[in-house]
Structure 1
Amino acid sequence: MSNKTSIEGLSALLHTLMLIPQHRWITVRELQQQLALIDIHRTTRSIKRYLDEVIVEVFNVECDSMSMPHVYRKTSEQLLKLNKQEMLYWQLTNKYLQPLIPDALNYGQGRSSERDNLLQDKASAISKEQLWLSKVHLNLPNTRSWSNKQQQILGSVHEALLNNRMLKVSSQALQQEQTFIEPLGLSVQCDALLLLFRLSDQHPIHTVALPLIDEASVSTFSFTYPSDFNVEQFMLDLEEAGYPEFHSPMRRVNP
């Protein structure tokens, strides 16, 4: 394939992406007509190949394959699809840090005129973001300063939570040795990470600060996560019930 052909093909693909609307569906035939208006002439088969083999796979564009003919639309103002790690960062930011972000820096929530003004001066916007970050302090546990053993314990907790696996833990503070527990969640406090758990086949829920766990390993045994349990609501109820002190070695709570 010649460079000329490659560049023309890339141009056609990117213009196709640009013409896909965000708030309504569009057909391949409509895209073909709009491309022709800017002197890009492609068959509907070629355009559909751009869409199905590249655009839907790489960008935030969805296809309604139940419609005949198929229709397409953008699903986000974010151009590229986020990987799993980036999606977690994005969701955590939206869930917990959204109120802290100034409207002027919030591209996704600001008015379109504000976003346009910011995008016109991208370099300035990036500089403002960096300066803004230096003016905000969050008092969260700094796990980077933890020992390798504590990091390993945190990794085991994450793996067990992710896969609904039981943990085998030992803790002198809890007077427990190689005890199997069912991890239910993590609560991030201003100076601690709390593990919410229950002993196998027991209803009461306990909380313990992670540094008080001496050893933790992921078991091969899985458990059924309680479908009616919500970590965030549980912690809110706990605070309202008058249990603000989360620094005791282990607290037993009946939900």
Structure 2
Amino acid sequence: MTSRTNTQESLTLAFEILKRIPRHRKITAPELHTQLQEIGIERSIRTIQRNLEMLSENFELDRDTRSKPYGYSWRKMSNGLSANYLTTQESLLLSLAEQYLKLILPTKILSSLESYFDEARYNLEHNPANTRAKSWRNKIRVVSETIPLLAPQMDPEVLSLISEALYEDRLITVEYYNAEHKRHTATVMPLGLAQQGVRLYLVCRFDGFDNERTLAIHRIKKVVVSTFNFKRPQDFTLEKYDTDGRFGFGEGDSCFIEFLITKKAGFHLLETPLSKDQIIEECEGHYKISATVIDSLQLERWIRGFGSDITLLSKIRDHNVCSTV
């Protein structure tokens, strides 16, 4: 049984190494060592080096010995490992995934996919048959509904540690500063990551509390990942946290609003309603609209953004009139 287990482990290691050897650049044993660690395979660098020596003798691998650490890649005319061959469609998908998901993919998964990202980029850039797929990336774009902002500076190590702890459900101790530039240190449960525009937020529970809070990743200056795991709260889902308007600076409370808005400013609400219960009455030069929405600072900013084009008639929260104009 032990011999069979050792053989399976050796084959698994060899296969994982082959999957990560690129075609169009060199990869070294230390790089492979890091990538394998990210997916939970713990082997010494010497073991990986021995495997690379063996694999280069039995597969169509180039071994660059001009400097240390040695670099390995598939030979130019080689078909490589069939599992490592990417079609045009797969190359395009991976290219878009790297572009739009790199901040919200777990760091371990992102690292383990690096050789595939490299392969996808090369396929799209250098294969004439992929010209149309390459041009597709320039034909689509996620656009902002507000004035475009530059992304805040984030510490890559901080994001990596938070991603690791979130993936493994481990407690973390964070040092951060708030909007008033006051520094704090706290132990928290990382519960979710959310990207809002150019900002990335950590949803978490502070030690000793039973409610969720949001921390801007760029304001976190230091992270220490605990060896202790935690049990995720059963009453929490990131989807509900979002639909409750918590990223819009609300507390999850609904309100019923009624307002007049000019037809020019409000036409888009006929196509994209505020809610499923939205009611629109057409008046001369205006629409009278009523809907149940999440009460939040974001709602207030949205209303103020229309200036003189909107007149708030009433806002009812918890069956009480909060404001009437």
TM-score band by shorter chain is 0.3 to 0.5
Normalized per residue, the structure richer in strand is 2
Structure with more relative contact order (C-alpha pairs < 8 Å, separation 6 or more):
1
Normalized per residue, the structure richer in helix is 1
TM-score using structure 1 length: 0.43
TM-score using structure 2 length: 0.34
